[in-house]
Structure 1
Amino acid sequence: MTTETSAEPTRRDFLYIATGAVAAVGAAAAVWPFIAQMNPDASTIAAGAPIEVDLTPIAEGQDIKVFWRGKPIYIMNRTKKQVEEALAVNLSSLPDPQTDQERTKPGHEQWLVVIGICTHLGCIPIAHEGNYDGFFCPCHGSQYDSSGRIRQGPAPLNLPVPPYQFVSDTKIQIG
């Protein structure tokens, strides 16, 4: 018996190639979910991403609360009276002395951006409450002034200022 070899592809060659291609596609389809599950969750990515906030709807004397990394951020458009009162505070009377200029951005002194978590036990203070027209924590009585500095109560530190920058006169980026 003699066998003939031909330079022409046979039906058997086609079946081998087709079977191999289907097996490769099937293996890729089976492995893809395992690779995809190693990527971080979308909520995890969003939780650490910087956010942009438009300041135009915030009228003078108003504040808004946004969330960044799961934390409440107060953005307050302070009145001239609030800014003047914050500048006039005697630093030696503060438990955690910081000037108002250290807590705001130059040229944007009317805007206060703070993390709205009480530094005593992590409660969320209420804006525009208390004796200092700033923030009041009703849980244990901590009072912060209009610059977010602790003035009265058990809280040991000022409300933290998150990393932020002005990307325009009417928009900030937090994070």
Structure 2
Amino acid sequence: MSEPLPPSSCACNRRDFLTTTTAGLGAAGLAAAAVPLIGSMNPAADTQAVGTVDVDLSKIAVGGALTVTWRGRPVFIRHRTEEEIARARADDAVSLRDQQTDSARVQRPEWLVVIGICTHLGCIPLGQKAGEPRGEFGGWFCPCHGSQYDTSGRARKGPAPRNLDVPPYHFLDDGTIRLG
């Protein structure tokens, strides 16, 4: 006949087993609850769909402009003339408050793409439509406080602290860009 094990050794093994099992089940439950919580933080499918906008550039004549809405903000697209490109490149050497060269702001010299919101107080500058004032530098003019931008969207005069922002975009082909 064998001797029974002491009560302390059986209780200790059983306690270790229950502790380990409880901790494992708790970790699994925490992971199961975290997955949908983290998933709910991702943007909805309809929000992601408006996160990119394809723009047909073939409709914009040289010297013309188009305004599109991307993520609730106006985006100015200008098909620049040779004179506008030359003027923007000539102004690269000028001392600016937000120093950027024209080539750093465009992917192709003939196309300028900027967010059409004044960097001073968030107004919409004029100069996108024919006949609107463009200011001294031929770009855009914000009538609220007199900020002026050049043909590269750089802040040149007035209280605007920085250049018009360039949104993320890339060319899909010679006649189409994708914003976002």
Q: TM-score, normalised by structure 2?
A: 0.70
CA distance in 1, matches of 2:106, 2:92: 17
Q: CA deviation digits over 1:86-121, x for unaligned, max 9?
A: 00015442111100000001xx20100000000000
Q: Pick from 150, 157, 175: which aligns with 1:170?
A: 175
Deviation at 1:46, TM superposition (A): 3.9
Q: Does 1:131 align with 2:136?
A: yes
CA RMSD across the alignment: 1.6
CA distance in 2, matches of 1:93, 1:138: 23
Q: Which runs of 5+ in 2 are unaligned?
A: 1-39, 129-133
Equivalences, count: 134
Q: Contact 2:88/2:150 (CA < 8 Å) preserved in 1?
A: yes
Q: Contact 1:164/1:173 (CA < 8 Å) preserved in 2?
A: yes
Letter in 2 for 1:173: R
CA distance in 2, matches of 1:168, 1:90: 28
CA distance in 2, matches of 1:91, 1:164: 26
CA distance in 2, matches of 1:41, 1:136: 37
Q: Does 1:116 align with 2:120?
A: no
CA distance in 1, matches of 2:169, 2:101: 18
Match of 1:23 in 2: none
Q: Which runs of 5+ in 1 are unaligned?
A: 1-37
Q: Among the aligned pairs, what percent are the same residue?
A: 52
Match of 1:40 in 2: 44
Letter in 2 for 1:143: Q
Match of 1:33 in 2: none
Q: Pick from 95, 98, 104: which aligns with 1:96?
A: 98
Q: Contact 1:142/1:150 (CA < 8 Å) preserved in 2?
A: yes
Q: Contact 1:91/1:97 (CA < 8 Å) preserved in 2?
A: no
Match of 2:68 in 1: 66
Q: TM-score, normalised by structure 1?
A: 0.72
CA distance in 2, matches of 1:97, 1:139: 24
Q: Contact 2:92/2:101 (CA < 8 Å) preserved in 1?
A: no
